[in-house]
């Protein structure tokens, strides 16, 4: 029901600061000035009475604003105060009225700004620097005048003269409002009235004076009034002059003070005073110190939280309020009651919306209901048409874009401003949407009423609208942006480097050692290197966050509380960058460094630091950006120039998902094509099992960057989740997987290795084309990772890379006990390098093992090795592979009883229609292990591998002796091939020598059953061996 107006009963007698209300039960809102009230300063006030029900403070303020003629643009300056002005109510405060309820509230201007009566220090922002307008409109000035005329003033001699001057202005205003002139109204009519224009304290002082003094003052007052009455001035100018003089009398009236205590000292410690000023922000002072100390201005506030302290295991009535700056400094004070805490927070919250971001609130406890509705509907506040049109001009390439905004003139209306492309000058149309008393929405030309704005906009987007006889199909909606201003899209590189002053090498004092990290740029052409700059960075002890999570996930140290605090600190860091208009561009858990682990038992929180982003996404090629999926924002894949603060919000959402999944890297194991399709199909990561976190991650990973929340909003939502009892985090049902989400577990491939986790130990061997290194793959960073053998190319030509990829494919397909196991690959796309990761066999190659352990290797061991090699070669033959480089140097020893075949760099697969393979470009080959047909015609088959196996038997029973090596023996017996260059003519000579009945000599102590002249294939030799 609407409130009932009462204008006939004045509630302030004699215009003093003591309010006298009628004894009416229920809820009353006192108004200092009403629209169309009687033209007298003493009877322009009134009250609004409200029937039984529930009302929020914001609803009462809107009802009062309508009665006073306050427009929505100035509505945010007002609030409800207690009857004795001892405190204020937040917009979200709920008044529940019943038959026993009775309360009087004051509708007052709460938010003040310096010199706001003109366009000087304080003004409303315009689209251009010269397009400014005053903060207050005339109805608000009328209300402010009525609000301040009843205040008490300090009465020094100088102030008494000022008060008389104010009384003259006030009397002149009254006469003009009554449309009378001084000549028409005798001075005697004012003899009582002029005293009413003076402060009560001054009236009492005048009454104490003698008759002569009172007569003199009355005569001076009349003369002054006679002089100014002839001036052709408007009433509003007189009110402005009155307010300006009053400001000179009282000084700045833009400050509120609150009493608070240092936490845990509320009972014993002395109180602190917190000052909130529109000019300076938040200041503090203490009874034992002089002056005030500035804590922060409003733009520096990152978030505010309200907590309930616990005393002796019981919740206290007081409240802890923490104000955190963007640099992570915290002001934590304890207020005596929840009402005092909400009064303070609502004041700071209101000033922040007025000066920094009109779409933000710090705490849900003080959030206006209309603001929450606007955020849900992506609706702008009561902005003017010029701002809406300017917002749409920026989206000319996005179809018929539109802006939903509240009407700047009506509290119950919305305007849908549409940009229509009809020519060079853009055409704009506005559709009026009205909200009825029943809460439904309607617009002209549509008979149906809608339950919500979203429903109405959905219908308007599905069907066309008519404008000037033309059908219009709505395009994307332009939601409000944080802070209402664009950010620089240039990444960190836009920061100027700090200049160095002083001569290099000058000594300034004692040396102090500090651990640092030296970061150098890798060469793009391996192994060439060039002199380059070195970046010195802080050394962070615990390393990357993703490694720490994987290492400690099962230890119980990483709890939900721990993760939430880490996520909040990361949000603080990114909020700092957002305020500085800077973009990180590569937010992920591996870029978050853990400086302190924290200890839950002692209350010590973890501490993280955001590392540098590396090479900016704005200059990376697309294939490298695809490798960063899902941390890179989708719009950056379309055009790297789209890198903006919204890109970091996407990266934060993916990182938060990663943190609460134990450091698992989502989608990192997908092929690039599937990663790209993941974005193209607008798929999403699986929802986190905590509904609150899932609701936080979802808007961050919105494919429309304009819908992603600001980091201040993310901080607020994180603070709401961080409670004293983390069991409040409700789990989603395991079977509830919303549509559009991808089951990432289907793509977990343990064969992909990250280069940063491969810790180099030593070189195992080098060849003509590549080298093998011993590394430890240590993703947990605790030196407990698996030892692996990593093969890399020495030369990165396209031909060598193709051969290397073929070798990887062959080894990947082989699974046998006597074949070296494939572990995976490591692909660093930044340097276009590829590495093969294999199992590490600690005893090295069989040739060296035979030489070192000859004394304890009997015939049985040698036959065992021969049998295992033969079994392995038989398996290769069954898979239609030919090894082409079988030798003891390429057979690795796992232990004394187990050997494995390795090095498939020359391996080939036989065609399906042939049993041999012809090599067109043999290159550098192990010719002393080759069969005659391979030397003469470059023909390779399983039979040629059998020949090589015969040579291996020779090496086995000579214990790998260098003097008995096949290359040494044949070079001694065949002079024509002693040249180490081994030209094609010399290779042909070796083949001719083999066609003769010349073979390697039988090794000493070799059984008769074993002969170097082996024939047949692997399946025939296995039972013989």
Task: Please count the other Cβ atoms lying within 10 Å of the Cβ belonging to residue 541.
Answer: 10
DSSP class of residue 790? E
Q: How far apart are CA 292 and CA 274, in angstroms?
A: 9
Backbone angles phi, psi at 95, to 5 degrees: -100, 120
Task: Give kind and range of the element (H or E) at residue 955.
Answer: helix 942-957
Q: Which helix (H) or strand (E) holds 788?
A: strand 786-793
**In the chain, how long is the greatest CA-to-CA distance?**
151
Do residues 97 and 27 touch, judged by C-beta distance below 8 A? yes
Token output for 582: 């800077």
Alpha carbons 363 and 323: distance in angstroms, whole number: 11
Give SS3 for 222.
helix
Pairwise CA distance, residues 901 & 817, whole Å: 10
Q: Which 8-state DSSP code applies to residue 501?
A: -
Classified as helix, coil or strand, 249 is helix
**Cβ 955 vs Cβ 968: under 8 Å:** no
Angle between helices 57-68 and 369-377 (to 10 degrees): 100
Quote the CA–CA distance of 629 and 646 in Å, as a whole number: 16
Q: 1005 — alpha (psi -120 to 50), left (phi > 0) or beta?
A: left
CA contacts within 13 A on the Cβ side of 167: 28
Q: 527: cis peptide before it, omega within 30°?
A: yes
CA distances from 826 to 664, 751, 756, 774, 806 (A): 17, 9, 10, 14, 15
Q: Which helix (H) or strand (E) holds 899?
A: strand 898-901
Do residues 120 and 379 make contact, with C-beta atoms less than 8 angstroms apart? no
The one catalytic residue in 885, 903, 913, 945 is 885
Radius of gyration of the chain (CA): 42
DSSP 910: -
Which element (helix H / strand E) includes 390? helix 385-393
791 marked ligand binding residue: yes
What is the 3-state secondary structure of 550-577? HHHHHHCCCCHHHHHHHHHHHHHHHHHH
Per DSSP, the three-state class of 431 is strand
Query: How many Cα atoms within 13 Å fall on the side-chain side of residue 461?
Result: 14
- Residues 145 and 245 sit within 8 Å (Cβ to Cβ): no
3-state DSSP helix/strand/coil % of the chain, to nearest 5: 35, 20, 45
Q: How far apart are CA 396 and CA 415, in angstroms?
A: 20
CB proximity list for 638: less than 8 A, separation 6 or greater: none
Residues in the chain, how many? 1025
Alpha-carbon span 577 to 712, nearest angstrom: 12
Positive/negative CA dihedral, 522, 524, 528, 529: negative
Could you tell me where the beta strands, DSSP code E, fall in 3-52?
4-6, 26-31, 46-50
Residue ranges of the alpha helices (H) in 725-784? none
What are the φ and ψ backbone dihedral angles of 410, each rounded to 5 degrees? -135, 130
* Cα torsion 768, 769, 775, 781: sign: positive
| Cβ-Cβ contacts under 8 Å for 581 (sequence gap 6 or more) | 487, 488, 645
User: Any catalytic annotation for residue 130?
Assistant: no
Active site residues: 885
Residues marked as binding for ATP?
791
Residue list for the binding site: 791
């Amino acid at each position: 029901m609407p409130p009932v107006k009462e204008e006939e009963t004045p509630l302030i007698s004699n215009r003093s600061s003591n309010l006298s209300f009628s004894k009416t039960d229920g809820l009353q809102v006192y108004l200092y000035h009403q629209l169309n009230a009687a033209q007298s300063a003493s009877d322009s006030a009134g009250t609004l009475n409200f029937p039984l029900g529930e009302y929020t403070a914001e609803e009462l303020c809107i009802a009062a604003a309508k009665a006073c003629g306050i427009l929505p643009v100035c509505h945010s300056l007002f609030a409800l105060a207690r009857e004795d002005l001892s405190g204020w109510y937040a917009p979200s405060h709920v008044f529940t009225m019943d038959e026993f309820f009775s309360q009087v509230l004051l509708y007052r201007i709460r938010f003040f700004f310096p010199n706001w009566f003109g366009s000087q220090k304080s003004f409303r922002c315009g689209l251009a620097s010269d397009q400014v307008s005053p903060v207050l409109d005339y109805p608000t000035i009328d209300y402010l005048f009525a609000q301040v005329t009843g205040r008490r003033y300090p009465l020094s001699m100088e102030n008494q003269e000022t008060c008389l001057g104010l009384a003259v202005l006030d009397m002149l205003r009254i006469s003009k409002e009554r449309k009378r002139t001084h000549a028409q109204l005798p001075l005697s009519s004012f003899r009582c009235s002029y005293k009413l224009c003076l402060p009560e304290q001054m009236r009492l002082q005048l009454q104490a004076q003698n008759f002569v003094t009172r007569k003199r003052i009355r005569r001076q007052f009349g003369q002054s009034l006679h002089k100014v009455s002839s001036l052709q001035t408007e009433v509003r100018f007189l009110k402005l002059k009155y307010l300006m003089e009053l400001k000179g009398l009282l000084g700045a009236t833009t400050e509120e003070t609150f009493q608070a205590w240092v936490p845990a000292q509320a009972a014993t410690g002395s109180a602190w005073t917190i000052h909130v000023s529109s000019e300076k922000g938040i200041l503090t002072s203490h009874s034992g110190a002089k002056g005030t100390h500035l804590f922060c201005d409003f733009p520096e506030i990152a978030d505010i939280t309200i907590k309930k302290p616990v005393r002796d295991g019981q919740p206290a009535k007081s409240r802890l309020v923490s104000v955190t700056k963007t640099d992570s400094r915290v002001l934590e004070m304890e207020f005596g009651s929840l009402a005092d805490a909400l009064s303070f927070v609502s004041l700071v919250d209101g000033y922040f919306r007025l000066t920094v971001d009109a779409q933000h609130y710090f705490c849900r406890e003080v959030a206006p209901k209309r603001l929450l509705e606007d955020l849900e509907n992506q609706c702008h506040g009561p902005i003017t048409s010029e701002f809406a049109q300017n917002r749409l001009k920026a989206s000319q390439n996005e179809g018929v874009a539109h802006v939903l905004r509240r009407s700047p003139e009506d509290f119950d209306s919305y305007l849908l401003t549409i940009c229509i492309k009809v020519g060079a000058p853009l055409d704009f149309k506005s559709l009026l949407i009205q909200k009825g008393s029943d809460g439904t929405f309607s617009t002209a030309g549509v008979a149906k009423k809608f339950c919500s704005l979203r429903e109405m906009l959905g219908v308007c987007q599905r069907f066309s609208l008519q404008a000037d006889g033309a059908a219009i199909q709505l395009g994307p909606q332009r939601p409000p942006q944080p802070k209402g201003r664009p950010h620089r899209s240039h990444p960190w590189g836009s920061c100027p480097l700090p200049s160095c002053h002083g001569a290099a090498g000058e000594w300034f004092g004692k040396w102090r050692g500090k651990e640092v990290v030296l970061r150098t740029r890798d060469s793009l052409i391996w192994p060439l290197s060039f002199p380059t700059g070195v970046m010195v960075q802080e050394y962070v002890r615990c390393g990357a966050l993703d490694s720490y999570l994987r290492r400690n996930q099962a230890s119980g140290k990483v709890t939900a509380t721990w993760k939430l605090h880490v996520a909040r600190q990361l949000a603080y860091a990114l909020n700092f960058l957002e305020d500085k208009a800077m973009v990180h561009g590569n937010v992920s858990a591996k870029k978050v460094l853990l400086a302190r682990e924290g200890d839950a038992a002692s209350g010590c929180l973890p501490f993280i630091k955001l590392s540098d982003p590396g090479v900016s996404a704005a200059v990376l090629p697309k294939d490298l950006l695809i490798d960063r999926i899902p941390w890179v924002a989708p719009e950056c894949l379309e055009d790297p120039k789209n890198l903006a603060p919204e890109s970091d919000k996407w990266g934060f959402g993916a990182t938060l998902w990663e943190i609460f999944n134990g450091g698992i890297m989502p989608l990192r194991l997908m092929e690039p094509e599937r990663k790209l399709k993941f974005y193209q199909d607008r798929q999403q990561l699986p929802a986190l099992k905590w509904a609150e976190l899932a609701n936080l991650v979802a808007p961050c990973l919105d494919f429309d960057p304009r819908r992603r929340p600001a980091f201040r909003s993310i901080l607020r939502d994180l603070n709401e989740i961080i409670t004293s009892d983390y069991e409040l985090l409700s789990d989603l049902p395991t079977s509830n997987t919303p549509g559009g989400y991808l089951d990432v577990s289907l793509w977990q491939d343990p064969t992909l290795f990250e280069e940063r986790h491969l810790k180099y130990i030593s070189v195992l061997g080098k060849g003509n084309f590549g080298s093998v290194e011993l590394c430890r793959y240590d993703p947990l960073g605790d030196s407990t990772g698996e030892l692996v053998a990593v093969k890399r190319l020495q030369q990165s030509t396209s031909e060598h890379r193709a051969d290397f990829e073929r070798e990887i494919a062959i080894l990947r397909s082989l699974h046998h006990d006597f074949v070296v196991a494939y572990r995976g690959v490591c692909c660093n796309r930044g340097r276009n390098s590829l590495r093969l990761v294999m199992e590490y066999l600690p005893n090295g190659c069989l040739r060296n093992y035979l030489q070192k352990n000859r004394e304890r290797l009997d015939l049985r061991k040698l036959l065992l090795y021969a049998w295992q090699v033969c079994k392995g070669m038989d398996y290769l033959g069954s898979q239609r592979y030919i090894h082409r480089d079988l030798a003891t140097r390429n057979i690795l020893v796992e232990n004394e009883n187990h050997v494995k075949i390795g090095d498939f760099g020359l391996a080939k697969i036989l065609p399906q229609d042939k049993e041999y393979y012809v090599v067109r470009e043999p290159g550098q080959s192990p010719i002393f292990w080759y069969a005659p047909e391979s030397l003469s015609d470059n023909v390779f088959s399983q039979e040629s591998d059998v020949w090589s196996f015969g040579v291996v038997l020779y090496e086995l029973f000579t214990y790998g002796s260098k003097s008995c090596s096949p290359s040494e023996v044949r070079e001694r017996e065949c002079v024509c091939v002693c040249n180490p260059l081994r030209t094609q003519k010399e290779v042909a000579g070796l083949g001719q020598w083999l066609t003769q009945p010349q073979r390697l000599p039988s090794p000493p102590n070799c059984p008769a059953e074993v002969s170097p002249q082996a024939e047949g294939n692997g399946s025939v030799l296995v039972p013989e061996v």
